[in-house]
Amino acid sequence: MAKNEEYVRKPEWLKIKLNTNKNYTGLKKMMREKNLHTVCEEARCPNIHECWAVRKTATFMILGRVCTRGCRFCAVQTGLPTEIDWQEPERVAESVEIMGLRHAVVTAVARDDLKDGGAGVFAETVKAIHERNPGTTVEVLPSDMKGDYESLHTLMDAKPDIFNHNIETVRRLTPTVRSKATYDRSLMLLKRVKEIAPDVPTKSSIMVGLGETKEEIIEAMDDLLEHNVDILTIGQYLQPTRNHLKVERYYEPREFAELRKIAFQKGFQHCQAGPLVRSSYHADEQVSEAAKARREQYEEHYMKNPS
């Protein structure tokens, strides 16, 4: 973007209410003490104040803070990652316990330098959270792991409660928006999850405002449904810096409401759509009924036997 080119002015409905109460500052302090990273901070999520200060939730980003890919929409640092930290899963699990989370989301930078794409650390993190927090449901949001299905099996063997992988945009824009990822490989990854674990809800996300058409969004919905995806989130793309893709236009709240209505009409089990919606937005509401029942049974047992 040229130096004299201005950002597209943000509309009124994209203003974010800041809230830095003790929950927010306490979580930030704990993340630094545990040497943990969150996608909330690294990707400059607009919901960080709501999630940290009000809902007291966070999305953990494992495998370091340096990504091997350079997607043109993402603010996460790109470069050569450091070594694997095998103590990280236990630190994440301990933090989940301290925070008292009912639902934990675990994502990661893309680690194309690793043969398994980081699936081993992902699996250990899921196991550690479940072992230390039996009543907590866990959602995973990995990269496509270069389409390696052995790595996918490694992750799914850890029994996450939701599998989330984002196609990010429509087919036509994928080569421009995403780095080293393909539209069809992402779809096949989501489909393979259902073949491995039919009862685990699958989820994906689309950003709008990058130049896609309504027809292309609907086509992406159809593609996801054809690959057995249960949950869809749709949010407004926000340009993190001048070095990233610019916003072509801002969608109005009524347009998001219409897209959400279409998603339900087409058959998605759950859909969140709105200007500030991101893939982990209100993720605790999207687990399967079986997972909710397990969580509620544990909470009931704990209330009766707190020791």
Q: Output the known binding site for [4Fe-4S] cluster.
A: 40, 45, 51, 67, 71, 74, 280
Cβ neighbors of 297 (< 8 A, separation 6 or more) are: none
Buried/exposed code over 34-58 (b: 16+ C-beta within 10 A; e: otherwise): bebbbbbbbbebbbbbbbbbeeebb
- In this structure, are residues 161 and 138 in contact, taking their beta carbons and an 8 Å threshold? yes
> Cα–Cα distance between 56 and 50 in angstroms, integer?
8
Measured CA distances, 146 to 42, 70, 73, 130, 246 (Å): 22, 15, 19, 27, 27
Residue type present at position 98:
I
CA 210 to chain centroid = 19
CA 140 to chain centroid = 8
- In this structure, are residues 171 and 216 in contact, taking their beta carbons and an 8 Å threshold? yes
Give burial (CB, 10 Å; 0-12/13-18/19+) of 100. exposed
Torsion angle defined by CA atoms of residues 240, 242, 244 and 248, in that order, rounded to the nearest 10 degrees: 90
H or E segment and range at residue 139: strand 137-141
Binding positions are 40, 45, 51, 67, 71, 74, 280
Torsion angle defined by CA atoms of residues 153, 147, 244 and 224, in that order, rounded to the nearest 10 degrees: -80
DSSP 262: H
- In this structure, are residues 145 and 122 in contact, taking their beta carbons and an 8 Å threshold? no
Largest separation between any pair of C-alpha atoms in the chain: 64
